[in-house]
Copies of this chain bind each other. A is one copy, B any other.
Amino acid sequence: MTESTELLYPQKWLSKASTGDRVTCELRMQIISGRIESGTILSENKLAADFEVSRSPIREALKVLASENLIRLERMGAVVIGLKEKEIEEIYDVRLLIETFVFERLVKIDTKGVVRELSKILEMMKVAIKYQDPDEFSYQDVLFHETIIRTINHSYIMMIWNNVKPVMEALILLSMRNRFEEKYDDFARIVKNHQLYIEAIDTKNRDLMIQSLHQNFDDVQGKVEDLWLSQQMLSKGVDPEK
């Protein structure tokens, strides 16, 4: 497989990243986007040849992706698992689990600071929409949720977040790029949901928070299937089943 295909991960996010990190991010995107199909067996040597790097950063990347449940390390080669509907739902479960836990802590502390911070991020998201920059929008979206989580200062919840964050980031990135081209008016709703989330935190309204959290998920999940289909058609022609 020659390297004639373009890179999926935003290069400007990798300005100071190591080769290992670059490989990790790019491989992750290729797996989640479906460019590398699930079931594929990856070999360290082959990947090293494809990426034109040594096995060291490749090994590093595979370890990370395995910890994210995107691949499964076996005796001979790494088997690509990828993200199917089941996995997407599971990630949703985890995110719901994390953020509801976080919310329970948030209602006990002063949230003025974080509300202000979230408002700023939301403004940034609006600007990203205005200038039609899906990558910037995705970055701010992920940052939005990370900011909320970081507030409660819980290192082991943060650990969980750090494990799901890259996958979520990739998922949102792909979804947003797709929608900037087709369903541009979706973004008004997304912004509104985030506004609702901020309000929930500000007023410490538990029900409102759950509601906006679910809606926010629907925003991503609803269009994921479209994404797959387009990606799959792009990569292997037709056959949209199985």
**Which A positions have Cβ atoms within 8 angstroms of B?**
60, 63, 67-69, 81, 86-87, 90-91, 93-94, 97, 101, 154-160, 162-164
Q: Contact at B60–A93, with CB atoms within 8 Å?
A: no
Q: Contact at A90–B157, with CB atoms within 8 Å?
A: yes
Q: Contact at B93–A154, with CB atoms within 8 Å?
A: yes
Q: Which of B63, B90, B160 contacts A94 (CB 8 A)?
A: B160
Q: Contact at A159–B155, with CB atoms within 8 Å?
A: no
Shortest A193–chain B CB gap in Å is 23
Q: Contact at B155–A87, with CB atoms within 8 Å?
A: yes
Copies in the complex: 2
Q: Contact at A93–B155, with CB atoms within 8 Å?
A: no
- Give complex CA distance A222, B105 in Å: 24
- Give complex CA distance A179, B97 in Å: 34
Q: Contact at A159–B97, with CB atoms within 8 Å?
A: no
Q: A93-B154, A101-B93, A101-B97 are in contact. Are A159 and B63 (CB under 8 A)?
A: no
Q: Contact at B156–A91, with CB atoms within 8 Å?
A: yes
Q: Contact at B90–A156, with CB atoms within 8 Å?
A: yes
Contacts of A90 on B, CB cut-off 8 Å?
154-157
Residue from A63, A93, A156, A159 whose CB has the most chain B CB atoms within 10 Å: A156
Q: A60-B63, A63-B60, A63-B63 are in contact. Are A159 and B69 (CB under 8 A)?
A: yes
Shortest A55–chain B CB gap in Å is 11
- Give complex CA distance A124, B191 in Å: 55
Q: Which B residue's beta carbon lies closest to that of A153?
A: B86
Contacts of A164 on B, CB cut-off 8 Å?
156
Shortest A44–chain B CB gap in Å is 13
- Give complex CA distance A60, B68 in Å: 16
**Sample of 14 more A-B contacts, CB < 8 Å, known A69-B159, A87-B156:** A63-B63, A67-B159, A67-B163, A68-B159, A69-B155, A81-B155, A86-B155, A90-B155, A90-B156, A93-B101, A93-B154, A93-B156, A93-B157, A163-B163
